[in-house]
A = this chain, B = another copy of it.
Amino acid sequence: MIPLEEALRRILDNLPSPATETIDSRSAHGRVLAEDLTATSEIPPFNKSAVDGYAVRSADISTPPVELRCAGESRAGSETRGQLGLGEAVAIMTGAPVPRGADAVQMIEKTRRSADGSRVTILSGVRAGENIIPEGSEASTGKVVLESGRYLGPAEVAILAIFGYRQVTVFRKPSVALTATGDELVEADQAPAPGQIRNSNAPSVAAQLKLLGLEAEYLGIASDDRAQIKRVILEGLRRDVLIMTGGVSVGAYDFVEEILREAGLEIIFSGVAIRPGKPTVFARRGDRIVFGLPGNPISTFVSFELFVRPALGRICGLAAAGLFRVQGRLSLGVGHKSERTSFIPARLSWSQDGWVIDPLPWKGSSDIIGFSRANGLLILPQDKKAMAEGERVEAVLLPDFWQRLTR
């Protein structure tokens, strides 16, 4: 058994080297950029009006009110044309090019147009440059606008569009295979015989992967049979990552670790000083990695979040792929047998004073129904037997924290 931090370190040390691929920008949302992208043009591409109003020479209106002659209009989408003469104003729309000769725009609310439209009175003065966004002021051609490593969210997607990037190079998503082992398991759409239960790990791991933008190839249930487990491991090794649930404990039919060795994998660790999730196995063969997660639903869930998420997030290029850790006030005293660090289902809420962490009533590490109300996990360190109400404690937020909020 190794400590959690050591397990995480070994995982990060044994990940395959990151690969990249070039994809259509229209599917770039949610990916991580693997190249620097530069401005392909000046932004804005012309001196642009920030408001609806009148383009003027600021010197002309230094002693307002001043009446100017209306010399046409500049609307969004039109080309910069003509030259503003002395004593002239041009009606201008937000986003439209400022005509040559004008050095400021007065907003429409501070103007009054004559009845016949031929003249406009500017009611207050403007500084030179006021309400004009100068050509190239937001980006100049060739300057890096998105660096390698940037997560591509909605605003970054907008930037790709602005500069006309049709393709971008991003970190490649790993291919993932998923299998569940256990003689007691039947699929969710089957009726369990006496002594059997439905397999819930494959659906929940698939959902956890989806939160990372990943989809797994499901290899089905393998029974507790050496030949069958070996077959499914070899099948899974055709993908970048194999996730197995069950078969990693110390029972007489827990073959997974042994067969991973037989299949030529190096066991990077087996057993972590946490609860739940202790028997987690992490193995590697070249660029392929295998996670063996303990089989009860909560152990599978927690092990995934603690080990698989940071690993796969890192392969996808995310800078901070682990769960977000915060400190807060415990609303209720809790205790545990203290030989391992415990992760206890909790509901976190934000108050003016900080995070409030409510440990949830649950019936232990197979009670997924009680566990499912959690939006975070309270961390009880190995060296503390109990923590009191009001004590400052640590917790991690689950990745779908927002959706799980109920206020």
Contacts and interface: CB of A to CB of B under 8 A. Distances in A.
Given A159-B372, A199-B161, A203-B157, A318 B76 contact: no
B157 A76 contact: no
Interface string A175-197: 00000001111001111111111
Contacts of A48: 366
B197 A44 contact: yes
A211 B213 CA distance: 11
Interface in A353-395: 354, 363-372, 374
A263 interface: no
Interface stretch (A12-20, A55-63, A93-101, A280-288): A93-101
> How many of these chains are in the complex?
2
Contact residue range for chain A? 35 or more
A50 interface: yes
A164 B24 CA distance: 39
A138 B370 CA distance: 8
A209 B138 CA distance: 26
Contacts of A367: 138
A151 B77 contact: no
Interface string A149-186: 00101111111111110100000000000000011110
Given A76-B182, A77-B182, A405-B324, A45 B197 contact: yes
Given A154-B204, A155-B204, A159-B372, A50 B366 contact: yes
A318 B403 contact: yes
Nearest to A304: B154
A326 interface: yes
A350 to B, nearest CB: 6
A405 B94 CA distance: 34
Nearest to A48: B366
Given A95-B184, A160-B203, A407-B319, A371 B44 contact: no
Specify the main secondary structure of chain A where it touches its partner.
Answer: loop
A190 B166 CA distance: 10
B195 A400 contact: no
Contact of A372 (B76, B156, B194): B156
Contact of A224 (B75, B153, B352): B75
B366 A195 contact: no
Contacts of A1: none
A276 to B, nearest CB: 11
A404 to B, nearest CB: 6
A115 interface: no
A52 B279 CA distance: 12
Contact of A79 (B95, B166, B193): B193
Contacts of A164: 188-191, 198
A249 B94 contact: yes
Nearest to A223: B77
A50 B364 contact: yes
Closest 5 CB pairs of A and B: A77-B183, A77-B184, A161-B188, A158-B200, A155-B372
12 contacts: A45-B197, A75-B252, A77-B183, A77-B195, A94-B296, A95-B182, A139-B369, A146-B372, A158-B301, A159-B369, A164-B190, A320-B402
